[in-house]
Structure 1
């Protein structure tokens, strides 16, 4: 029951894990931060990304082990994603055990398989970010919550639940929204007041320990200023799973223990996402990966419904023909997901491709060329393959990301950038594709205006999520430089 779902998740996580060595910008941040010394990491977190600080420290330690073993020969891309594959494998095993505890073995097996087959789970199983680890911790915390609610508030279950939820919240603060789902499950169960008091104590402990990080990270909220209204595709994914999950909840299933399947599955499926959407009306904050663990609620409900619908022929009036039709319908649904799963393992499945950008720059660049990143935060494109940018002068850079303890480095003033651009005859510009919103800082205005007034565009290469352009000084520079 555990080996089949976890084995499937491990296979799906390993399938196409390299993604043609494509790395997208958030993974590049993880790679950069994980390869800084811990003594350099802490000053950086005081300025930016403190919300991911624990995860960066853990991946830093992981890379020290990984790169010192023969496994490290597999490459940095695999090393970056292996922790997420392992975390999702553990999460699939936890979902199967949780389904068994709530309903039965068959329901647990099918819940674990459903979890592994959901495309968004496979997507974050192959990303070097914290979301798979958070999902696994929430799953196992929920697994401890169910038996803890059925026993006197003594022993190690409640401390274990508290420790797992605290780790999840320290890795990413929005894991705290799972506490609301757990509380709703206990209220809906319902359970004795002593259980509610024990859970409330655990909840207060987690939130109290999380409070300093939450207060400090609120000072860095400008990092998510790019978030506007939620992405329609992400909302559609949630809506589809929510509707399917509620439909599955209508299938009659007999639950075990005081905490029933519906009492746990429906709040876990709906509450975290709905609360995050409500929060987004105050300050935009919704991204589906922040509450990825909502998929666990769907998997539990779907696994129990499938166990009921696909029960063996002859059991409780189930005919062989009806079971065959339902089995074929499930197989068709799984087959329909194959194109999505194949797409997730292609470079085009992410926002951009840092590796492709670096290769395009290397192909266009010549020693002595100037280099500009527009906007400055796209300097992260050089983090994983800095050797592809050797010989180029970053005209806007004042202090490097490492020296300035930032993600993207600090840039010169707009006037200084203008003067430095005019000292070269040829410039490589790595920028967002045409049509994207532009930044209006003095530095970005200086870059755009100087290129427009003193240079002409010689050649350009469009890459997924980026554009690499060669500019030459007027007049007629492109005739010899293009």
Structure 2
């Protein structure tokens, strides 16, 4: 048969059926909503300056394979899967701020699609699924994750589809063998992506114990799938445990109640008040209403999904010292579902009340979402502005001097690596060992004082940057005085959001 005849022949019956299924709302609505969520989340994602944790992602992703393996066997093994995937992405699309962050926006779209699929398992109406999708995009925790070059947005996406698969398996929509095998693989992949996602194994176990007939057989399958998942994730789990010293600083960092009341999901006190009010209403809806399939089915899933991992991390703050608000990003989709259940109940009672409540929620979320797209939204970083200053004023052969007295995630030398086009032709005399030759993600630099004492600053012009974070930095050891003692003079000073940039010449007249 010729190619032309093959292309133009009428579709066979089974092909027509497949195409018809692909056109159904059950496929097109989740896919369309996911694509729209990706675009909305990515809008303006290039505006905030990259920051320290994103530097870890970007520089780890740009290492050679031997260098990458050397790094993850010493630090950051818990992010190794994400770094490896980002390596492929960067090789294809580059390492600009937009490119680095766009995979996280895609993850938000994957999460939204999964929430719609999950919600539709419990209701014939499209209102609740769409509400859950809208709230997921608006929820500041997911919005933040969606514009950050870290793995947390993907933890939410993987967690959502783990729950989708678990519900489909437990409710008999999939053959038991296929469903539990899929759960074993997906839970293993989720735990390898981020250890905290592994806590969903306990959530699935609770659902297996509570739902349907044949609970003993379900629990046996759950135990077997959980064991396989742990085996699959074991290399990352073991390396993560061996590298636990990386987060030892958490033991010395106080965790105020606002961390889990506000920062964990809501980011803004006003929106947190609205959010907790809706979560309380959702609990009442689950407990009181008699729509068992919707409220006590989907509501139970969301309560366990949001509640168990959060209760564990918050409850062990004083013993395990392993709490950070963004570690629980993977529970945020469940919060969107619970808030949607409360709003859906308002719509069912009186549509104007539901519409007013939805408008209030979106309006109270807007300030946090807009702030997260500002130039200095990521940990106060202003490295893009720093790079722009140097690019506008530096000449080939100029040198850079970096303050080393703040914590690694705020050290401005990362700007040199993250925005290389702005620093093209500028040398760093402080450099001892480049990051790709070390077991950590950052360069090894000597202090400005030591470099000046060794007469490493030889250029006619030096651009020095000093971090200016409240409570960090030691004024009497900062580097500009050392450069001035070496014969340089400050000729320009730019006060940025979190950094001070100085242009120094040997000759006071440039």
TM over 0.5: yes
TM-score by length of 1: 0.82
Runs of 5+ unmatched residues, structure 2: 1-28, 266-271
Shifted more, 154-163 versus 386-395: the winner is 386-395
Which of residues 465, 468, 480 in structure 2 aligns to 1:430? 465
Q: Assess if the C-alpha contact under 8 Å between 1:102 and 1:255 holds in 2.
A: no
What residue number does 1:344 align with?
372
Q: Assess if the C-alpha contact under 8 Å between 1:429 and 1:471 holds in 2.
A: yes
Write out per-residue CA displacement over residues 124-151 of structure 1, whole angstroms, 9 at most, x where no aligned residue: 1122211111111110011111122234
Q: Assess if the C-alpha contact under 8 Å between 2:469 and 2:498 holds in 1.
A: no
Query: Does residue 6 of the first structure (1) align with residue 34 of the second (2)?
Result: yes
Runs of 5+ unmatched residues, structure 1: 68-74, 312-317
Which of residues 217, 230, 244 in structure 1 aligns to 2:278? 244
CA RMSD of aligned residues (A): 3.5
Q: 1:265 to 1:468 in 2, by over 3 A?
A: same
1:378-393 matches, within 5 Å, as 378=411, 379-393=413-427
What residue number does 1:96 align with?
116
Which of residues 269, 283, 301 in structure 1 aligns to 2:338? 301
**SS where residue 374 of structure 1 aligns?**
coil
Which of residues 325, 334, 337 in structure 1 aligns to 2:353? 325
Q: CA deviation at 1:104?
A: 4.2
Q: CA deviation at 1:268?
A: 1.3
1:193-208 matches, within 5 Å, as 193-208=216-231
1:389-428 matches, within 5 Å, as 389-412=423-446, 417=451, 419-420=453-454, 424=458, 427-428=462-463
Write out per-residue CA displacement over residues 321-355 of structure 1, whole angstroms, 9 at most, x where no aligned residue: x4223322322332333333222222122111321
Alpha-carbon distance in 2 for matches of 1:143, 1:86: 18
Q: 1:370 to 1:4 in 2, by over 3 A?
A: closer
**SS where residue 146 of structure 1 aligns?**
helix
Alpha-carbon distance in 1 for matches of 2:499, 2:246: 20
Write out per-residue CA displacement over residues 201-243 of structure 1, whole angstroms, 9 at most, x where no aligned residue: 2222222333332232234334334542237466414483455
Alpha-carbon distance in 1 for matches of 2:295, 2:140: 32
Q: CA deviation at 1:260?
A: 2.1
Q: CA deviation at 1:291?
A: 1.4
Q: Assess if the C-alpha contact under 8 Å between 1:177 and 1:275 holds in 2.
A: no
Write out per-residue CA displacement over residues 76-133 of structure 1, whole angstroms, 9 at most, x where no aligned residue: 3332122112211111111111112134433223222222221221221122211111
Q: CA deviation at 1:45?
A: 1.9
Q: Assess if the C-alpha contact under 8 Å between 2:169 and 2:175 holds in 1.
A: yes
Q: 1:169 to 1:409 in 2, by over 3 A?
A: same
**SS where residue 117 of structure 2 aligns?**
helix
Shifted more, 295-304 versus 161-170: the winner is 295-304
Q: Assess if the C-alpha contact under 8 Å between 1:102 and 1:259 holds in 2.
A: no
Q: 1:193 to 1:258 in 2, by over 3 A?
A: farther
1:6-405 matches, within 5 Å, as 6-19=34-47, 22-66=49-93, 76-105=96-125, 106-151=127-172, 154-189=176-211, 192-227=215-250, 228-230=253-255, 232=258, 235-238=261-264, 240=272, 241-242=275-276, 244-251=278-285, 252=289, 254-256=291-293, 260-311=297-348, 318=349, 322-351=350-379, 352-363=381-392, 365=394, 367-375=397-405, 377=408, 378=411, 379-405=413-439
Alpha-carbon distance in 2 for matches of 1:344, 1:387: 25
How many equivalent residue pairs?
457
Alpha-carbon distance in 2 for matches of 1:147, 1:122: 27
Q: CA deviation at 1:445?
A: 6.0
